[in-house]
Amino acid sequence: MASSAATLPSKMKAWTYLEYGKSSDVLKLQFDVVVPQPRDDQVLLQVVAAGINPIDFKRMLGMFKNTDSPLPIIPGYDVAGVVVKVGSQVKKFKEGDQVYGDINEKAMDHPTQFGTIAQYTVVAEKLLALKPKNLSFVEAASLPLVIETAYEGLERCHFSAGKSILVLGGAGGVGTMIIQLAKQVYGASKIAATASTGKLDLLKSLGADLPIDYTNQNFEDLPEKFDVVYDAVGQCERAVKAVREGGDVVTIFGAVVPPATTFILTSNGAILEKLEPFLESGKVKPMIDPNGIFPFSETPQAFAYLETGRVTGKVVISIIP
Ligand SMILES: NC(=O)c1ccc[n+]([C@@H]2O[C@H](COP(=O)([O-])OP(=O)(O)OC[C@H]3O[C@@H](n4cnc5c(N)ncnc54)[C@H](OP(=O)(O)O)[C@@H]3O)[C@@H](O)[C@H]2O)c1
């Protein structure tokens, strides 16, 4: 399936935008994009699958154009693929390795022009890990940005065995990972999580003890307070009312209300390596929306679906079926 360095093409197909705007207006398939070349610390990947995230369409709208790379841009942070060329300083990987990762170390600070929704992409080796053998490329591509975000947030709020947690937005890309990591990796004593009515069984299946239907219950009115509240939907003002005194609140989106803290993910392949035993044993599972796998040719439809904000788990583009 993979090209070798000797047979690499010089041009590739890639979804690209030349101006900021709505994905339905600006995203175009280009057939003659120059295949990027890896720097010393980078590898060139043949992309097999690319996960998409809300940051892709927010960036496409120009929401952080002051710190973006110049246009044109190929979107896509998450990748799973095959190493087809290595830079001179690369130590961990060799041609033929099956790897995955989030290719932008700093999500909003000059993310690369050459994203993952293309036949090839380049990425620093430190951002990658070997793909867990039990996962397909599509499954692996669904993970990096959301599982690393879930992990970084749990670390930042000092999560540990025996603590309770409330997850706001438990059915989204990040939320489905927060629940699973809190349970399987950290040993949470109790997990509460919010979603709409039809997604409560999913929350339970992921490990939530107390699924909360946000359409008919206000989580901040519960008598019970939590050691940690992880806000993945932008409800910080309410989140701080649900934490016990001295507990931690972390939010990844929207306004921050004290004592909550926030962060922007720093991508790091070491997190994927640390979590590998949990992925290989099946204790932590990729969570892809039942209608969330799209062929490369339907990338605009994949964005339209993600942009509804109603996706369960992840949306992934299958580049090599
Ligand atoms: N700071 C960072 O480093 C960082 C990293 C990753 C993501 N983010 C941000 O975090 C947010 C979540 O990302 P994501 O990838 O998880 O998004 P997502 O997968 O698109 O989230 C969709 C989910 O959100 C749920 N949801 C929507 N409104 C809700 C509400 N009021 N209460 C509970 N659940 C609700 C939906 O469930 P229902 O259909 O049931 O409503 C749906 O399942 C985005 O804004 C993203 O940009 C930030």
For residue range 218-245, what is the model confidence (pLDDT) as tens digits?
999 999 999 999 999 999 999 999 999 9
> Which amino acid makes up residue 299?
T
Q: Is the pLDDT of residue 78 over 60?
A: yes
Q: Is 80 exceeded by the pLDDT of residue 146? A: yes
Mean pLDDT of 96-102: 99
- Ligand 1 nearest-atom number relative to CA 170: 34
Predicted confidence (pLDDT) at residue 309 exceeds the cutoff of 70: yes
Q: Relative to the CA of 54, which ligand 1 atom is closest?
A: 47
Average per-residue pLDDT in the chain?
97
CATH 3.90.180.10 fits 5-143+286-318, yes or no: yes
Instruction: Say which residue the tokens 């040719």 belong to.
Output: 297
Q: How far apart (Å, rounded) are the C-alpha atoms in residues 280 and 97?
A: 17
What pLDDT score was predicted for residue 279?
98
Inter-residue long-range contacts of 29-35, CB under 8 Å, 24+ positions, other chains counted: 29/297, 29/299, 33/74, 33/118, 34/10, 35/8, 35/9, 35/10, 35/11, 35/119, 35/120
pLDDT at position 3 is 55
Res 35 pLDDT > 90: yes
Strand, helix or coil at 272?
helix
Residues with C-beta less than 6 Å from any ligand 1 atom = 53-55, 107, 145-146, 149, 168-169, 171-175, 194-196, 199, 214, 232-233, 252-253, 264-265, 309-312
Q: Is 282 exposed, middle or buried (0-12, 13-18, 19+ CB in 10 A)?
A: exposed
Residue 140 pLDDT greater than 70, yes or no:
yes
Q: How many CA atoms lie within 13 A of 192 on its CB side?
A: 21
Q: Which regions of the chain carry the CATH code 3.90.180.10?
A: 5-143+286-318
* pLDDT at res. 101: 99
Contact predicate 284/4, CB 8 Å: no
Output the CA–CA distances (angstroms, integers) from residue 24 to 61, 173, 284, in the order listed.
Answer: 11, 22, 34
Burial 172-194 (b: 16+ CB within 10 A, else e): bbbbbbbbbbbbbbbebebbbbb
Residues 6+ apart with CB under 8 A from 123: 42, 43, 45, 79, 101, 103
pLDDT above 90 (res 6) = no
Hey, whose CA ends up nearest to atom 4 of ligand 1? 252
Query: Helix or strand or coil: residue 183?
Result: helix
Q: Apex CA 130: angle with CA 128 and CA 133, to 5°?
A: 145
Using the predicted structure, report yes or no on whether residue 7 has a pLDDT greater than 90.
no
Phi, psi values for residue 271, rounded to 5°: -65, -40
Q: Which of helix, strand or coil describes residue 295? A: strand
Structure tokens given for 218: 């206000």
Q: Rounded to the nearest whole angstrom, what is the distance from the C-alpha of residue 175 to the centroid of ligand 1? A: 7
Instruction: Band the pLDDT of 166: cuts 50, 70, 90.
Output: very high
User: For position 5, what pLDDT does the model report?
Assistant: 62
Q: What's the confidence (pLDDT) of residue 102? A: 99
CATH 3.40.50.720 residue ranges of the chain are 146-262
Q: How confident is the model at residue 4 (pLDDT cuts 50, 70, 90)?
A: low
Closest-lying ligand 1 atom to the alpha carbon of residue 214 = 32
2 pLDDT higher than 60:
no
Q: What is the pLDDT of residue 128?
A: 98
Domain 146-262 is found in CATH 3.40.50.720: yes
Distance 171 CA to ligand 1 centre (A): 8
Task: State how far the Cα of 307 lies from the Cα of 228, in Å rounded to an integer.
Answer: 28
Tell which atom from ligand 1 comes closest to the C-alpha of 175.
16
**Per-residue model confidence as pLDDT tens digits over 260-295:** 999 999 999 999 999 999 999 999 999 999 999 999
Residue matched to tokens 């599982």: 147
Model pLDDT for residues 38-73, shown as the tens digit of each residue: 999 999 999 999 999 999 999 999 999 999 999 999
